[in-house]
Amino acid sequence: MPGDPFQLFDTWFAEAQASEPNDPNAMALATADAAGNPTVRMVLLKAHGRDGFVFYTNRNSEKGRQLAENPSAAILFHWKSLRRQVRIEGVVERAPDEQADAYFATRSRDSQLGAWASDQSRPLESREAFERRYEEAKRRFEGEDVPRPPYWGGYRLVPRIFEFWQDRPHRLHERRVFLARGDGSWDQGLLYP
């Protein structure tokens, strides 16, 4: 395997894009509040590179509130078709607003309107109430571009640990770990399965 975790991720991600039937960019995102109470949910990877792994959400959502309290997080990609997974831990920082604006502009109009209509993670009295809010947003922005809501934006997980897991027969799996050094290089090794 390559000695560079970003290069290895790029290779595995390209293979997943070719083999996974649905959402090869789906990742489990684990966050915790200030007291350490964890939460996990699926989100979609929208960009990645040596500067980190980017996803977007409502910043007032549970994940947004937890990231404001505790910026440490983990993501996990599981590609069943390849019998592989990649776990990445690091610190999450807010992506620049210009980047969030550019991505928001690529979303479907219905998704843009949904971002205005949803108080993500808050109690909802009925489906009809949400649909009313969606229709209100639709009328509000009729005939014009839908701007990015001020509470909606991107986050970037900056890795400090990568773990690449490959299925092997008889549960003799291969686990390769990369640990960030302060100088931008990586220590690597193997873990018992």
Active site members: 171
Residue 145's identity, in one-letter code, is D
**CB-count burial class (<10 Å; 0-12, 13-18, 19+) for 183:** exposed
> What are the structure tokens assigned to 2, written together?
């390559």
Those residues whose C-beta lies under 8 Å from the C-beta of residue 186, and which sit 6 or more positions away, are 3, 4, 5, 162, 178, 179, 180
Contact 44, 26 (CB under 8 A): yes
Query: Alpha helix locations (H) across the chain?
Result: 5-19, 62-69, 97-106, 109-117, 127-140
Local structure of 160: helix, strand or coil: strand
Name the one residue in this structure whose structure tokens are 């649909």.
131
CA dihedral 187, 190, 191, 192 (to 10 degrees): -160
| Token representation of residue 176 | 């390769």
